[in-house]
Structure 1
Amino acid sequence: MENKPNHITLQNFTTESGVFYSVLNLSFQVFGPELNTAPIVLVNHALTGNSQVIGKNGWWNDLIGENKTIDITKYTVLAFNVPGNGYDETRIENYLDFNARDIAKSFVEGIKFLEIKKLYAIIGGSVGGGIAWEIAALEPKITKHLIPIATDWKSTDWLIANCFLQEQILNNSSKPIEDARIHAMLCYRTPESFKSKFQRTVNEELAIFNIESWLCHHGEKLQKRFQLSSYKMMNQLLKTIDITRNRGSFEEITSKIDADIHIIGINSDLFFTADENKSTYQEIKKYKNNVSYHEIVSIHGHDAFLIEFKQLDNLLQNIF
């Protein structure tokens, strides 16, 4: 499964903030049958993810693969890299040039370049799910199923506040990636998750609490494989999800989306709360009947979409 990313060069790309890129590199990977020979599922990666959804370093192996929930003997899986995520050597230093919609626009251009007429599904967790919402708002007929997981169609004040703190750390810390990751882990998990995992135990060798050594380990691990510019870029996208910006009302935009919308929340998510997802569902349900809301029940918070595979499989098996 370790196929190298393919590259598309997007010409004359203007971001929503009016910044012109004469060329923008967009890379992608394909798993399963060749493009346009089977139904295509677009998978959008989250903050530290990339197009390697399955294989040795795949981040969604439990969900996608041969005879898995998304079965690559039946579906073609397509995954783009967010330009600037660092996986394909593309660096974007001016991360403030971009917002989540710009990335959605680049993915739409990539889909057109690959001559894909219609997707079977777009699925993504966290910021990847936010970009999925943005794609559906840009191209309301592009997919049969829209599956945003542990995400929302907008960045809430709470999310923007945490992204603001992340940016402060990334710009001001002497160990920016490590320190930002330590803070982020507190958004991705919950007090109950930490309690069940650590029970206030101590690492005798280091004379610190095990929770502390675990957080340091996650910080160091990310520092080794992730670039500062990539972290800043992904954090900026997380902060700028909003399908209504400069566009019109939420109802106007979502009522045009053809897809069956399957919203999946997590009951303990501190980052993209279940309450926000429920109110999104209640709102859309007023004028669109092909929308559903389901919830993963977990003590683990936001990261549950990468942990609770049995539940996710149950929620998705009717679609796939």
Structure 2
Amino acid sequence: MGDVGIVTTRFYNWPGSLQLESGARLGPLTIAYETYGELNAAGDNAVLVLHALTGSAHIAGRHSPDDRLPGWWDPLVGPGRALDTGRYFVICANVLGSCYGTTGPASINPASGRPYGLDFPIITIRDMVRAQKILLDYLGVKHLVAAIGGSMGGMQVLEWGFLYPEMVTAIIPIATCGRTTPMQIAFNNVQREAIYADPDWKGGDYYGTPGPQRGLALARRIGTITYKSDPSWTMKFGRTVVDPGKYYQLEGQFEVESYLAYQGRKLVQRFDANAYLYLTKAIDLHDVSRGRGNYTEVWHNLPPCLGIGISSDFLFPPYQVKEIVSLINAGGGRAQYMELNSPYGHDAFLIEFKQLEAIIKPYLRQVKL
């Protein structure tokens, strides 16, 4: 059992209507979240953790003693750890558009009484952050010590810095970017096309049926390739085959192929295909300069920043985090860059906990409560 023990996902039902960046409105909203530690009387000791594409609010502990695995950042959360629950009130909310309790395409549309499906509006990273602000207001959080997250979570971190700079003491974006590149958009496109091509997707109206399992599994397999690095694939699998007796047969598989199939099957069991479509689209639309001005000139009035890159990251190469740091400094802010030296590619922010602890813990300790 981890240091935070048994935890419970809670739900905030907000009766309002959220104005989305697209011009559409969405409401009422349900926001799923978990908290660790205690909020102080001033409401200013909170740390907000933002999750990645298929993540959830469950960052630490277990929901029951029988859970096989703890939350996805468990080694970093607890008394004396990087996210010290003796000092900080740690919060993570499932993002808008996801399928782990927060309103998304699989939620019931109050106008029809059926799941939204493709009637769900397009959402952006900024929309996610505005929904999180609603939750923090409800919880009584007046100020954040830091906002921290990797990948899509890092995009949300940056938008927290842009939308609510007066509320955040520090931002810690990890393995992310200020705007997505054509290559990143291209990888998301082919993942969505894999889902569209599955006849069981049924134009997004598949609820009550098994849904596009083959398409979602293939999308995950494509995504998984981008989350690793060539050295990590070689270290883990080499050129080992599953069944040497099938070496000269089309159905013969290398172990890496079997692993990709396994990852696809796992995601199908826990994630909604439409949510995958909407969240990858939100990633594609991510651009902190949209509506704010020239990309290189909008990086001013941001909170102090610790940008963390990953040496072997193929999907979000280190130069993108270095660029964020450089642009904040050029805009008159204070930013520094640190790097995880890891062969594990983009996934390193979910693996290299000792390195993350060594970087994050001292940085947060010097941030004044």
The TM-score with structure 2 as length reference comes to: 0.81
| Residue 341 (structure 2) pairs with residue 302 (structure 1) | no
TM-superposed CA distance for 1:25, in Å, is 2.0
| Residue from 310, 318, 322 that aligns with 1:266 | 310
Q: In structure 2, what is the Cα distance between the partners aligned to 1:182 and 1:90?
A: 26
Letter aligned with residue 211 of structure 1: V
CA contact (8 A) 2:32 2:102 kept: no
TM-superposed CA distance for 1:289, in Å, is 4.7
CA RMSD across the alignment: 1.9
Q: In structure 2, what is the Cα distance between the partners aligned to 1:47 and 1:215?
A: 18
| Residue from 225, 233, 244 that aligns with 1:194 | 233
Q: Which residue of 1 aligns with 2:294?
A: 249
Q: Which residue of 2 aligns with 1:134?
A: 159
Q: In structure 2, what is the Cα distance between the partners aligned to 1:208 and 1:122?
A: 43
Q: Which moved more, 1:68-77 or 1:146-155?
A: 68-77
| Residue from 22, 25, 38 that aligns with 1:20 | 25
Shift of the 176–35 alpha-carbon distance from structure 1 to 2, 3 Å rule, reads farther
Q: Which has the larger radius of gyration?
A: 2
CA contact (8 A) 1:10 1:26 kept: no
Letter aligned with residue 13 of structure 2: I
TM-superposed CA distance for 1:306, in Å, is 0.7
Matched length: 319
| Residue from 214, 223, 227 that aligns with 1:184 | 223
TM-superposed CA distance for 1:78, in Å, is 0.7
Q: Which has the higher strand share?
A: 1
Q: Which moved more, 1:283-292 or 1:143-152?
A: 283-292
Q: Structure 1: 5+ residue runs without aligned partners?
A: none
TM-superposed CA distance for 1:218, in Å, is 0.7
| Residue 11 (structure 2) pairs with residue 6 (structure 1) | yes
Report Cα offsets for 1:284-307 as digits up to 9, x if no partner: 222335200111111111001111
CA contact (8 A) 1:137 1:253 kept: no
Letter aligned with residue 144 of structure 2: L
Shift of the 22–278 alpha-carbon distance from structure 1 to 2, 3 Å rule, reads closer
Q: Which moved more, 1:204-213 or 1:129-138?
A: 204-213
SS in 2 for 1:141: helix
Shift of the 173–254 alpha-carbon distance from structure 1 to 2, 3 Å rule, reads same
TM-superposed CA distance for 1:173, in Å, is 3.2
TM-superposed CA distance for 1:119, in Å, is 0.4
TM-superposed CA distance for 1:134, in Å, is 1.0
Q: In structure 2, what is the Cα distance between the partners aligned to 1:170 and 1:187?
A: 18
Q: Structure 2: 5+ residue runs without aligned partners?
A: 1-5, 63-69, 106-116, 200-213, 247-251, 365-369
TM-superposed CA distance for 1:89, in Å, is 6.5
Q: In the TM superposition, what are the counterparts of 1:27-46 in structure 2 within 5 Å? A: 27-34=32-39, 36=41, 39-46=45-52
Percent identity for Structure 1 against Structure 2: 31
Q: Which residue of 1 aligns with 2:264?
A: 219
The TM-score with structure 1 as length reference comes to: 0.93
Q: In structure 2, what is the Cα distance between the partners aligned to 1:32 and 1:157?
A: 40
Q: In the TM superposition, what are the counterparts of 1:1-320 in structure 2 within 5 Å? A: 1-9=6-14, 11-34=16-39, 36=41, 39-56=45-62, 57-88=70-101, 90-92=103-105, 93-94=117-118, 97-173=122-198, 175-204=214-243, 207-250=252-295, 253-257=298-302, 259-320=303-364
Shift of the 10–200 alpha-carbon distance from structure 1 to 2, 3 Å rule, reads farther
SS in 2 for 1:202: coil
Letter aligned with residue 72 of structure 1: T
CA contact (8 A) 1:10 1:109 kept: no
